[in-house]
Amino acid sequence: MTFNDIFKSSFLENVTSVSLLDMVLALALAFGLGLFIFLVYKKTFTGVMYSSSFGVTLVALTMITTLVILAVTSNVVLSLGMVGALSIVRFRTAIKEPLDIAFLFWSIAVGIVLAAGMIPLAVLGSVVIGAVLLVFVNRKSHISPYIVVLRCSGHDSETQARAYLEQCAGRCVVKSKTAQKGMTELNMEIRLKDDNTDFINTLAEMEGVESAVLVSYNGDYMG
């Protein structure tokens, strides 16, 4: 055994397994594409409350995935250990919007593809996915869905209010009805023919109508 063998370390041998240029280039591209994903998420967000921390998470997730895959591709033994380590990780954070899952997988996929050296695929794929999301998510329908919440004091006022609502709306469907003594509450889905909502004022002034509420409805919840 020589003097060099005594101080020989397998840990130090792995220092040069990934070159500095590869690390800098991969992380810089991961940051750029992660930022692009963040901007697309911010532009296409349609939820109730925007979370800036989730957008930052998309950038960080892209860079972290790139970092992990770079380490895995440089060492086969490490890849086996990494699979076992990541298999015990559990995430408890609830995903509020279904589209958020697509952005999470997008960030992870970009990190994997970048670390594998497929830079054109990562860049071109991100541009195409971003364009598709911008086109379809931000597309506005000319028929807007709404929920009307009516509180009526009698059957006659309820019938009159429903008849007037069916004349003003392109479609009128009862979603739920709650009847109490001397009071009836209706939740009705309607489709507006245009952006004019003055009919809700006329509806509230009808005799026997206690209140009329118009709520925007995107299909994920009901007011």
pLDDT of 152 higher than 80: yes
pLDDT of residue 31: 94
pLDDT of residue 23: 84
The overall average pLDDT reported for the chain is: 78
pLDDT of 36 higher than 70: yes
pLDDT of residue 76: 59
pLDDT of 159 higher than 60: yes
**pLDDT tens digit sequence for 75-103:** 655 555 565 555 555 656 666 677 888 89
Where do the domains of the chain lie, and which CATH numbers do they carry?
3-137 (no CATH), 145-216 (3.30.70.260)
Q: Which whole number is the average pLDDT over 108-135?
A: 90
Higher pLDDT residue, 35 or 16? 35
pLDDT of residue 39: 92
**pLDDT tens digit sequence for 47-68:** 667 778 888 989 999 998 888 8
pLDDT of residue 87: 56
Q: Which whole number is the average pLDDT over 160-167?
A: 84
Q: Which whole number is the average pLDDT over 95-118?
A: 86
Structural contact between residues 130 and 37, judged by C-beta atoms closer than 8 angstroms: yes
